[in-house]
Structure 1
């Protein structure tokens, strides 16, 4: 039992201190970007946020959105503590990409 607890504590410590990760990018459609495109970007970034160790806290997991022009976005993943690999570029679909950078600690 002690070995299991030690392993669990070691695994948690290896994840590091939680950080905020900023995602900033564009959709290639410019002013013709649709709401469905914006929703797809949000959903993909939300999933990426969970994949890098953020806890699902509803609206607090991923904050931000698109600017007034509708194709440039800034989101923040709150309290990620997994394999964050920042700075990095995320391009899940060929029509958008985002630069991921450290945006502070939690």
Structure 2
């Protein structure tokens, strides 16, 4: 790939990103989104986060790891239980990281 090709690809990506991000800002006031769709879009960030985190928790070395010997799974379960009892996000993150660190140190590798 030549230097010109690289700059053309970068330019095309800049234009595509600018168009995608500014399209709703420029014409969004003319578009009405149905109430049901707006309600469903409330859950999009949580679904995207789960789709990113779940494979990291459940997969190791390309294989599914669902045993309690998996420190990430153990920490995720403990953090979910902690959040259910005390719904405070920062405390949940700290607790989950403490459980993860302890599990990594004490569980057999």
TM-score calculated relative to the size of structure 1: 0.25
Higher normalized helix content (fraction of residues): 2
**TM-score of the superposed pair, with normalisation by structure 2:** 0.24
Answer with 1 or 2: which has the greater Rg.
Answer: 2
Structure number having the greater strand percentage: 1
Higher relative contact order (CA 8 A, sep 6+): 1
